[in-house]
């Protein structure tokens, strides 16, 4: 990572190699070599579990959408799961997360129950937004998960405002903000990052660069495709990360969070990833704005496969253990489906007009 406050130095840690063991976090006390290995294996296992849960969950989302159980717009995160898993793994429960409409994976990685997310997608009262928000507007106050926002880039100032509130209260939390690479061209990005740096706010801005803003390739939309260099315009540290490698994500976010928590400086991280599905459920994964060959080439670096291969190589996970982990995630998703399918819709009588305003008459 580059220089801290105001340095404006931009570094590029984009890596095509697997992390070595020395890159991985180890416990402070390592008198017992076995315990360090166990800890590493358990961290890898947890990250693999998080990514698998997201993947299996969204495969069921696609199925539910086809069956008409999920309506409206539905944007899948498949291929990008290392970003949410790696990021959430370094956050404290009292940190804050603000994100865009491609939010299912992030909600799950933040620990919002699969039942609660699926019920929201099914438009049920038991959903995390009580059936009022849907796919694009997942909220959970108990997880400090502040949405799920549907206007590209418009939530970036919200994250700066959350970080402002942290500073106002002299807190040591951080606010994480996720958005796609297409959002860097909208004014809200510029306005928010300028103020976050001007006022030294504890925020980490994470660009999920999946290379397409809907159907428009970054090369057709952005004059300088190296989007993390935008940080220099705000005197902020910027960094690009190979986001198909969950430990590269975790490592970069961990450093940015430390700077936000300590020096209260914001960081801009570009996560280089690829979306394996269409922009939403209404476009094909390939064939119109990107080729099948390109898609297939990028799917070779599936973040789940990358981590699984690493663990297999290090003898940390047998085929049987992987299959068991996978089956557990599938069972969670089936349970979430059954729960959502069986839970009541919001009541027209009680819920339609509720929560437009806080009742201030009493």
Partner 1 sequence: MPVLTYREALTQALREELTRDERVFLMGEEVAQYNGAYKVSKGLLDEFGPMRIVDTPITELGFAGMGVGSAMVGLRPIIEFMTWNFALLAIDQVVNAAAKMLYMSGGQFPMPMVFRGPNGSALQLSAQHSQAWESWLAHIPGLKVCTPGTPADAKGLLKSAIRDDNPVVFLEGEMLYNTKGEVPDGEHIVPIGKAEVKREGGDCTIVAHGKMILVAMQTADALDKEGIAVEVVDLRTIRPMDIETISVSVQKTNRAVVLEEGWEICGVGAQVVDFIQRECFDDLDAPVVRVHQADVPMPYAKNLERAAKPDAAKAIAAVKKVMYLD
Whose Cβ is closer to partner 1: residue 86's or residue 127's? 127
Whose Cβ is closer to partner 1: residue 109's or residue 163's? 163
Asked if 129 is part of the footprint of partner 1 (rule: CB under 8 A), the reply reads: yes
CA-CA-CA-CA torsion sign (147, 148, 154, 159): positive
- Choose, by CB under 8 A, the member of 22, 315, 356, 362 that binds partner 1: 356
Asked if 98 is part of the footprint of partner 1 (rule: CB under 8 A), the reply reads: yes
Whose Cβ is closer to partner 1: residue 26's or residue 186's? 186
Q: Report the side by side order of strands in the sheet with 203-209.
A: 10-12, 237-242, 267-272, 203-209, 175-180, 96-99, 145-148
**Cα within 13 Å of Cα(194), Cβ side:** 7
Tokens 């790696």 correspond to 86
Asked if 133 is part of the footprint of partner 1 (rule: CB under 8 A), the reply reads: yes
- Residue 107 has φ and ψ, to the nearest 5°, of -60, -45
User: Cβ 164 to partner 1, closest distance in Å?
Assistant: 5
Q: Which stretch binds partner 1 (CB under 8 A): 46-54, 137-145, 270-278, 302-310?
A: 137-145
**Cα within 13 Å of Cα(104), Cβ side:** 33
- Choose, by CB under 8 A, the member of 118, 162, 236, 252 that binds partner 1: 162
Tokens 């990685």 correspond to 109
Asked if 195 is part of the footprint of partner 1 (rule: CB under 8 A), the reply reads: yes
User: Cβ 303 to partner 1, closest distance in Å?
Assistant: 29
- Choose, by CB under 8 A, the member of 141, 224, 300, 350 that binds partner 1: 141
Question: Which residues 167-186 are close enough to bind partner 1 by CB under 8 A?
Answer: 167-168, 175
User: Cβ 240 to partner 1, closest distance in Å?
Assistant: 25
Collect contacts of 183-187 with beta carbons under 8 A, ≥24 apart: 183/100, 183/152, 183/153, 183/156, 183/207, 183/213, 184/153, 184/222, 184/227, 184/230, 185/221, 185/222, 186/152, 186/153, 186/154, 187/153
Question: Which residues 278-297 are close enough to bind partner 1 by CB under 8 A?
Answer: none
How many residues touch partner 1 under the rule CB under 8 A: the total is: 48
Asked if 121 is part of the footprint of partner 1 (rule: CB under 8 A), the reply reads: no
Residues that bind partner 1 (CB under 8 A): 96, 98, 127-133, 137, 139-141, 146-151, 154-168, 175, 187-188, 191-192, 194-195, 198, 354-358, 360
């Amino acid at each position: 990572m580059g220089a801290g406050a105001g340095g404006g130095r931009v570094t590029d840690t984009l890596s095509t190699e697997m992390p070595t063991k020395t890159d991985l976090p180890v416990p402070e006390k390592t008198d017992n070599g076995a315990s360090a290995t166990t800890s590493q294996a358990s961290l890898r296992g947890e990250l693999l579990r998080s990514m698998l849960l997201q993947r299996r969950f969204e495969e069921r989302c696609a199925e539910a959408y086809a069956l008409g159980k999920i309506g409206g717009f539905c944007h899948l995160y498949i291929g990008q799961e290392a970003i949410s898993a790696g990021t959430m793994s370094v956050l404290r429960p009292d940190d804050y997360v603000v994100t865009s409409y491609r939010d299912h994976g992030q909600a799950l990685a933040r620990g919002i129950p699969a039942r609660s997310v699926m019920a929201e997608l099914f438009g049920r009262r038991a959903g995390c937004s009580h059936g009022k928000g849907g796919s694009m507007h997942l909220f959970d106050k108990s997880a400090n998960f502040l949405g799920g926002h549907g206007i590209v880039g418009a939530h970036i100032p919200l994250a700066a405002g959350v970080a402002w509130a942290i500073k106002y209260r002299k807190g040591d939390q951080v606010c994480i903000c996720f958005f796609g690479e297409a959002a860097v061209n909208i004014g809200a990005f510029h306005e928010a990052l300028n103020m976050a740096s001007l006022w030294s706010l504890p925020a980490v801005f994470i660009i999920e660069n999946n290379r397409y803003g809907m159907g428009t390739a970054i090369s057709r939309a952005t004059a300088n495709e190296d989007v993390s260099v935008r940080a220099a315009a705000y005197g902020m540290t910027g960094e690009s990360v190979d986001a198909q490698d969950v430990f590269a994500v975790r490592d970069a976010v961990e450093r940015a969070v430390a700077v936000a928590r300590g020096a209260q400086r914001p960081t801009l991280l570009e996560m280089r990833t690829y979306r394996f599905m269409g922009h939403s459920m209404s476009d094909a994964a390939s064939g119109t704005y990107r080729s099948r060959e390109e898609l297939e080439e990028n799917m070779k670096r599936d973040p789940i496969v990358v981590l699984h291969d690493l663990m297999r190589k290090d003898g940390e996970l047998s085929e049987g253990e992987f299959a068991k982990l996978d089956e557990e995630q599938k069972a969670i998703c089936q349970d979430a489906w059954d729960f959502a399918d069986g839970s009541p819709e919001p009541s027209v009588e009680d819920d339609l007009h509720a929560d437009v305003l806080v009742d201030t008459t009493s």
